[in-house]
Chain A
Amino acid sequence: EPEVTQTPSHQVTQMGQEVILRCVPISNHLYFYWYRQILGQKVEFLVSFYNNEISEKSEIFDDQFSVERPDGSNFTLKIRSTKLEDSAMYFCASTASGVLVGELFFGEGSRLTVL
């Protein structure tokens, strides 16, 4: 069964360092998302991406964050200068055109720990 894959599964970094989280969405999907979940809290929308551009972003997604689809398969989230409060589980998700709204396919998440 097709699935969304994310790497790394866990990354530990020092505050101020740049981090890139990678995602390989399901191959025929066109809409891509990043969500995050601070430990023990709810899942929060960060950004959605379609047709090589951001279609919507939340207040959390400030200038320190960027997304990119560098090739036909990867979808990346970059945090330029990590802060302690960026420690969270980051989920990538994708969905296809014509799939019912909200029926997202999530990856297993990348846990980011900022020290």
Chain B
Amino acid sequence: AQKVTQAQTEISVVEKEDVTLDCVYETRDTTYYLFWYKQPPSGELVFLIRRNSFDEQNEISGRYSWNFQKSTSSFNFTITASQVVDSAVYFCALSEAGAIGANSKLTFGKGITLSVRP
């Protein structure tokens, strides 16, 4: 069975600090996909990134960066120079490959509530 663990539940930082959100996953699949979603106070879920299990190259997008370590089954997310608008709940998720077409059953972690204070 697939499992996603986000051990941190709440993180509070001061604006401009860097913050790393941890994600550890379990799966028996050799091919799988990992994701991060953001849930701002308005409630919707916003897709941030998708990574497949064959691509361990780290990715940077503006102030966001992701570190995928297959050896430790981790997919951590770092926000550099955090801003108040980054305050949200962040979910890590896992999906098996081999899904038919675009059929996507995601297994989510419990989420990390990030509060960025001015």
Q: Which A residues lie at the B interface, using CB under 8 A?
A: 30-31, 33, 35, 41-45, 48, 50, 55-56, 58, 89, 91, 93, 95-109
Q: Is B64 an interface residue (CB 8 A)?
A: no
Interface residues on B, range: 20 to 34
- B74-118 contacts to A (CB < 8 Å): 91, 93, 95, 97, 99-111
Are A101 and B102 in contact (CB-based, < 8 A)? yes
Is B45 on the interface with A (CB-CB < 8 A)? yes
| Set B42, B47, B109, B110: member contacting A104, Cβ < 8 A | B47
Give B contacts to A, CB under 8 Å: 33, 35, 37, 42-47, 50, 91, 93, 95, 97, 99-111
- The residues of A that contact B103 with a CB separation of less than 8 Å are 31, 48, 50, 55-56, 101
CB <8 Å contact, B44 and A101: no
Contacts of A35 in B (CB 8 A): 106
Can you give 19 A-B contacts (C-beta < 8 A)?
Answer: A31-B102, A31-B103, A31-B104, A42-B91, A43-B45, A48-B103, A50-B100, A50-B103, A55-B100, A89-B43, A91-B44, A101-B33, A102-B35, A102-B93, A102-B95, A102-B106, A104-B45, A104-B47, A108-B44
Query: Shortest Cβ distance from A74 into chain B, in angstroms?
Result: 19
For A89, A102, A103, A106, which residue has the most chain B Cβ atoms within 10 angstroms?
A: A102
A94 to B81 CA separation, bound complex (whole angstroms): 33
